[in-house]
Structure 1
Amino acid sequence: MTSALLIAAGKESAPVTDWAARIGWLVGLALFVALVYWLMREGWKWRGTLQGDLPELPAAPEDPGPARLGMSGRYHGSTTAGQWLDRIVAHGLGTRSRVELTLTDAGLDVVRPGAADFFIPREALREAVLGKGIAGKVLTEGGLLIVTWAHGERLIDSGFRSDNAAEHTEWVDAIDSMINKTETEGAR
């Protein structure tokens, strides 16, 4: 029995934690995360620089007329028309935010708390469709109102999601009828 006690007393436990190595790994990981974040931020700014030829966003007119439709929801971003992954970040168009949309006879007023507001004149509207994805945001089929509009030399798709998705169809019909009316008036 004494020999068993001597053997047990002679064994020492191995060190459980090497604190210096653990702290070194944590500092290295934090530096790596900071580097990745910095590179992403620089890429975002570079994309904005490349899109510097995009003109300033139009502001709403003094009297846009009575509201035809109104909607509260989310703005999910803008892309080059037909290229749902080519996000446009210039002039704040890449910033996701809450949105208040108002459709008037003058055009579409986009009010975004915390981000740049803009106005899409009636003559610039090209199409409204129901979609499922834009700029990295994918929803169910028909879960996104996508408005195509002309700005400068570019056609832009902007994605909106209403708090009440059932009203998307009404918006598509109203915008498309407004576009058809503009084309009919222009043909005269």
Structure 2
Amino acid sequence: MTTIELLPQPPEGRHASEPWPQAKKYYFNVSSSHEEGGTRDYAMMTTKLTGEEGQVQRLHGVRVEFDRDRLDRPLMNTMRVVPGSEFSIPATLVLLAMGFVHPVHEGLIADLRVALDPRGNVRADTRRFATSEPGVFAAGDCRRGQSLVVWAQWEGREAARCVDMYLQGNSRLQSRNAHV
């Protein structure tokens, strides 16, 4: 079994400049499942699956790389293909466990010309949910990245109130945010 991850291999521990509890919680680890066998490879992107008669036989992909911030974290909006890194591996079963890197930039986000944060999410004020473009608001996963649905619900309600205030000058919608 081979596990392929789009992102670079996580660090083995926290960066010295990240004191607990601010430290990221995503570290490289080895569980008993990993010890039983299989390989893991990082910074790889699947480009296609090939096979015959509806049965997959090969997974094709490329290696990717990212610029990094001062804490050596990958900057998601800088992903690029490593030239000449194409590969192909045999496959009889492919299971997709896809997380969320950042919202798709092509289309609406690019057309609106909103600023992005270093992770590739829409940059928005966390008090008013306003983006860099007047009259454009962002909330939920497109602003904060992959998170719990309750955060998306809360931010959606708060953003709706902020939009109401922007359009009407005030709002009758209740806020659970002390900042607004």
TM-score (norm 1): 0.25
Larger RCO, structures 1/2 (Cα 8 Å, 6+ apart): 1
User: Which structure is higher in strand share?
Assistant: 1
Choose 1 or 2 for highest CA Rg.
Answer: 1
User: Which structure is higher in helix share?
Assistant: 1
